A and B are shown apart, each in its own frame.
Chain A
Amino acid sequence: MTRPTTKEIQATAQVASVPVNEEIATRISSSIGPAFEGFAAIAGTLPFDLEPAHYPLAQAAKVSK
């Protein structure tokens, strides 16, 4: 996963009905871009059956010392 480009951001913002100009899209790209890069190693690697609902199960799991 790479940081979204200015054009991609403008497209997703348009779909969300909150259009942004090129200058704002460039600023957004540089601000949130590092988060995409930081998550790149995980993106696209998760097992098929994994759901967000596994989180509360992990929370409730007893951790042995």
Chain B
Amino acid sequence: MSREPALMTLTEVARAIAMKQVSSREVTRALLHRIAQWQPHLNAFMSIESEAALKAADTADAELAKGKVRGPLHGVPLAHKDMYYDAGKVSTCGSLIRRDFVPSVTSTALQRLKDAGQVRLGTLHLAEFAYGPTGHNAHYGPVRNPWNVAHITGGSSSGSGSSVAARLTYAALGSDTGGSIRMPAHFCGVTGLKTTVGRVSRAGAMPLSQSLDTVGPLARTAEDCALLLALMAGPDPEDSTASHEPLSDYVAATKGSLKGLKIGLPASFYVDDLDSEVARVLDETIAVLKREGADIVKVELPDQRQLSAASQLVLAAEAAAFHKRWMIERPQDYGPQTLMRLQNGLAVPAISYLEAMRWRGPALAAHNAATAGVDALIAPASPVLAPTIEESDVGGGPNAPALLQRLSLFTRPVNFLGLPSLTVPSGFAKSGLPVGMQLIGRSFDEATLLTIGAAFQRVTDYHERLPKLPS
């Protein structure tokens, strides 16, 4: 065992437990110790279930001693965004409305991780109903960025980004409807995989927008994301939209080389008006990819602002439809930011919503044609570094609305097209805040993204750097 258990990657700790180099109890205790230190600073956890987690860890250790192995995550403690239903356990969805909601079903994604042997540590904080790009939450307070607690984590998977970065869980489920995995990955300096629409079942995951919602992991490495994707991906009788498209060997894909791969750099939009530190990191990342054998070519993409606009119309209409009953009966129980976002859907006529949905096929076909010569695209996950919690709040001043729009500028088009995208820690600003680049792939080709991400992480150490515990 090469290092402190809490600092291992998911892959390393799963192997160490399986080989009995460390017990599930030891690693669970190590994480609980870090959680006790960090939680008061970060507010990353919604619930911490220390006693139950240690009991489950003891069971896992006893099973292992008898030669029983549940799966690749046997005895590995994990926590997930508090919107993945776990039958009989409260799932707040980050809301007051569901503060005491106890689901009767377990989400398919979570069940598959449980079947693989994970130990439940607790649940992670999120934006109210997963509808917010910053990590603010009017009911439970903001989640804070481990690299600088005055700054946002990004949302909506705010607790997932914050806790993985601070090494409080080895990985966490997030969800991505408009950038909710990739923004926290970028702002918190962790690896986040937004999957192709349909790649992972959404059954039992709180819905926000049925056309755009995707389930995916945030973890310390691309290899860890591959391990989790391999466990979760595939058809599901509980979700008719879960795809039957063939799966890849995602873990094997992380061993691949960049040689012979062509990576497209968008000629515009994703390279325009970048924060200077984001621009520098993009250049440095491209240099590393070239050095490792990738061919970088410029690509002219269709108008990304149209995609972003269509994405906003679809999200607004679908979210408002899900929430209509509570908007009528309990408007006072929403936080102001969430209610304002939901009310936007009231302005979208059915014909506009359906036009956007009808355009989705040709928009993806046009994207496929424009990117036919490359294996993946590279772009910043966001044009900006993490702003402060104060400046990005509703009352954060006259620039706050424009700032909020900019945060997710580079993520929304990908959601409309339903493409997979892997955000990888790619550098740090002088201020110490992390910067992530997103690799955007073809539909159902997560494997190529994982190949590129893992190859990049073999020759860089940004994903290994640790934030310091605030004094």
Residues of A within 8 A of B (CB): 1, 4, 8-9, 12-13, 16-18, 20, 24, 27-29, 31-32, 34-39, 41-44, 46, 50-61, 63-65
Given A38-B306, A41-B306, A65-B262; A32-B360 close (CB under 8 Å): no
Say whether B346 contacts A12, CB under 8 Å: yes
Identity of the chain B residue whose Cβ is nearest the Cβ of A41 in the assembled complex: B306
Say whether A61 contacts B360, CB under 8 Å: no
CB of B286 closer than 8 Å to a CB of A: no
Contacts of A4 in B (CB 8 A): 347, 349
Say whether A55 contacts B364, CB under 8 Å: yes
Contacts of A31 in B (CB 8 A): 340, 344, 401
Contacts of B312 in A (CB 8 A): 32, 35, 38
Separation of A27 and B339 alpha carbons in the complex (Å): 12
Interface centre among A1, A34, A41, A58 (most CB of B within 10 A): A58
Separation of A3 and B332 alpha carbons in the complex (Å): 27
Separation of A37 and B186 alpha carbons in the complex (Å): 29
Contacts of A63 in B (CB 8 A): 368, 371-372, 442
Contacts of B460 in A (CB 8 A): none
Number of interface residues of B (CB under 8 A): 50
Residues of B within 8 A of A (CB): 196-198, 243, 245, 262, 303, 305-306, 308-310, 312-313, 316, 320, 324, 327-328, 340, 343-344, 346-349, 352, 354-362, 364-365, 368, 371-375, 401, 405, 418, 442-444
Given A24-B343, A38-B308; A18-B262 close (CB under 8 Å): no
Separation of A13 and B348 alpha carbons in the complex (Å): 9
Interface centre among A13, A39, A64 (most CB of B within 10 A): A39
Separation of A31 and B404 alpha carbons in the complex (Å): 11
Contacts of B324 in A (CB 8 A): 16-18
Separation of A17 and B327 alpha carbons in the complex (Å): 10
Separation of A39 and B358 alpha carbons in the complex (Å): 13
Interface centre among B245, B309, B401 (most CB of A within 10 A): B309
Given A32-B312, A35-B309, A65-B372; A59-B346 close (CB under 8 Å): no
Separation of A12 and B352 alpha carbons in the complex (Å): 13
Say whether B344 contacts A28, CB under 8 Å: yes
Say whether B344 contacts A64, CB under 8 Å: no
The secondary-structure label for the interface of chain B is helix
Select one of B306, B360, B361, B372 contacting A39, CB under 8 A: B306
Given A18-B346, A24-B343, A59-B418; A39-B356 close (CB under 8 Å): yes
Given A36-B313, A65-B373; A59-B358 close (CB under 8 Å): no
A-B contact pairs, 5 of them (CB 8 A): A18-B324, A28-B346, A31-B340, A58-B364, A61-B368
Separation of A54 and B310 alpha carbons in the complex (Å): 16
Given A31-B344, A42-B355; A50-B309 close (CB under 8 Å): no
Contacts of A35 in B (CB 8 A): 308-310, 312-313, 316
Measured between C-beta atoms, what is the minimum distance from B68 to chain A in Å?
40
Select one of B313, B361, B373, B418 contacting A54, CB under 8 A: B361
Identity of the chain A residue whose Cβ is nearest the Cβ of B354 in the assembled complex: A52
Say whether A37 contacts B309, CB under 8 Å: yes
Measured between C-beta atoms, what is the minimum distance from B349 to chain A in Å?
6
Separation of A14 and B316 alpha carbons in the complex (Å): 17
Separation of A54 and B443 alpha carbons in the complex (Å): 14
- A4-B347, A12-B346 known; 6 new pairs, CB 8 Å cut-off, are A9-B346, A12-B347, A20-B346, A36-B352, A55-B418, A63-B372
Select one of A27, A39, A55, A65 contacting B340, CB under 8 A: A27
Contacts of B361 in A (CB 8 A): 50-55, 57-58
Say whether B347 contacts A32, CB under 8 Å: yes
Separation of A12 and B327 alpha carbons in the complex (Å): 15
Measured between C-beta atoms, what is the minimum distance from B213 to chain A in Å?
15
Separation of A26 and B343 alpha carbons in the complex (Å): 11
Given A39-B313, A42-B306; A1-B352 close (CB under 8 Å): yes
Select one of A50, A59, A64 contacting B198, CB under 8 A: A59
Contacts of B357 in A (CB 8 A): 52, 55
Identity of the chain B residue whose Cβ is nearest the Cβ of A31 in the assembled complex: B344
Contacts of A16 in B (CB 8 A): 320, 324, 346
